[in-house]
Amino acid sequence: MTAALGASGGPPAPRAVPVPSGDTFDLIRRHLSPRLALTGSFAGRGATETAADGCRVTLSDGRTALDFGSYAVTLLGHRHPDVLAAVRGQLDAMPTSTRSLANPTAARAAAHLAEYFQQALPKVYFGLNGADAVEVAVKLARLVTGRGRVLAVRGGFHGKSLGALALTHSPLYRRGLLGAAVDVVHVPPDDPGAVLREVRGGEVAAVVFEPVQGENGAAVLPVDVLRQWCADAARHGTFTIADEIQCGLRRCGERSLALAAGLPVDAVLVGKPLGGGVVPLSALVCSEELYAPLSTDPFLHSATFGGHPLSCAALPAALTAIEAAAAHGRVLAAALDTALDELAGRHGEVIAAIRGRGLLRGIDFATPAVAGSVVVELAGAGLLVSPCLGRPGTVRLLPPLVSTESDIAEAAEILDAAITVAARSAAGAAQR
């Protein structure tokens, strides 16, 4: 089974019309961003991505890279055959929606997602990205309660649209923006009484938290603290919303970390791998009470491409494939734990901590400079990772469920070599 999971098993990737790398970077500089061209060229050593299959990406210069990054989207790797088949079938039948007539693909996807969470949260709203789900969840909480304030957690990341940005803790993303559309208080992640102090005044509509903060270097929030927060919020008529856009859907072992822990949340937000790594899709899955404004007026919050048929066609295939690989994911997580522990033991002078859960892990380095040096080495050695922009001293690893134990071992070898070089550079700089 392990070997079978190592590749997509789908048809060969179609040959793309070759575009010289230099032309690509020139177009990015002129029409997107010079900084984006610089970082892309740096990451690929002058090459661009041209094709992908399973957990491997092919570059324009013929090299391949092991993809343990992609910001958690490719939990099923690239081009999973079952997801591709579902999307192709919908493409041939009806790729978009009239938005006037009822669409069975979206209806089936909503039912499938509610059943996936065992009907604990029966109502669904579909978006295209994580910020979409955050925005509608907060909007509904404010409408139902009539309150304006929202609690978020220090270190959390919930998106970069203006509403979601208010919840995102890092000032890096809010630089130059005065004020926000939502009145937000950020509470410390390890304080069980933090929510109670805020909700007593009756002004708080919702508490939003990530059980594992991905952008904060895979920081795991204490379950006992979250349980206390949920209880205090419920007693004061405040909704609790678990943002599992990055950590949910078996990325960290469970379908939903909040529901698996028995937390009485009113909503779970999912996204990233929900479209199977093929199409964009996110969702708010919530209680009848939180969803009530949309039950009364479904046009209160809508989007042209929300519930898009191509994305919704991918959902059942993606969730089915995720469940089929869940046991294998636990094996991979154990292998990753062992590999990271060994790396920490060998490189204690530069590795400060290993954090995270399951297939969402963060390596905290002694300094951002060391982390940057590691990323430089990884880029050339064929391992793609996801840096934490708000935590520059951390390198994030996001292996797909379709990886093999040999892929984990290969990644560990590449990391070992990269950390060795970074440690030598750091020691040399310290002596100068």
Structural domain for 62, as ranges: 19-76+325-431
Q: Is residue 14 part of a domain?
A: no
Domain membership flag for residue 5: no
Would 52 be classed as within a structural domain?
A: yes
pLDDT at 170: 67
- List the structure tokens of 263: 């937390």
Answering whether pTM is above 0.75, one says yes
Interval 371-385: pLDDT, tens: 999 998 998 899 999
Contact in structure between 129 and 271 (CB atoms under 8 Å) = yes
Tokens matching residue 379: 């880029």
My answer on whether 168 and 88 are in the same domain is: yes
One domain, residues 269 and 341: no
Domain tally, the chain: 2
Strands 383-384 and 64-67: parallel
- Considering 278, 303, 324, which residue would you say is the last residue of a domain? 324
Q: CA gyration radius for the chain? A: 22
Chosen domain end from 294, 324, 354: 324
What is the dihedral sign for C-alpha 292, 296, 297, 303? positive
- Looking up tokens 């919050």, which residue turns up? 301
Pairwise CA distance, residues 286 & 412, whole Å: 39
Q: Are residues 169 and 69 in the same domain?
A: no
Q: Are residues 390 and 320 in the same domain?
A: no
Q: Residue 376, exposed/middle/buried by CB under 10 A (0-12, 13-18, 19+)?
A: middle
Residues 314 and 333 in one domain: no
Alpha-carbon gap, residue 343 to 26, rounded angstroms = 39
Q: CB 389: neighbour CB atoms within 10 A?
A: 11
Residues 265 and 317 occupy one common structural domain = yes
Question: pLDDT of 127-162, one tens digit each?
Answer: 999 999 999 999 999 999 999 999 999 999 887 676
DSSP-derived letter for residue 391 is -
How many Cα atoms are found within 13 Å in the side-chain-facing hemisphere of 171?
3
- Nearest by Cα to 385 from 377, 373, 395, 374: 395
* CATH number for 137: 3.40.640.10
Distance CA 4, CA 401 (A): 12
Task: Please check whether residues 374 and 416 belong to one and the same domain.
Answer: yes
| 218 part of a folded domain | yes
Which of 275, 303, 324 is where one domain is finished?
Answer: 324
Q: With respect to residue 2, please indicate whether it lies within any of the assigned structural domains.
A: no
pLDDT single digits (tens) 19-61: 677 899 999 999 999 999 988 888 888 899 999 999 999 999 9
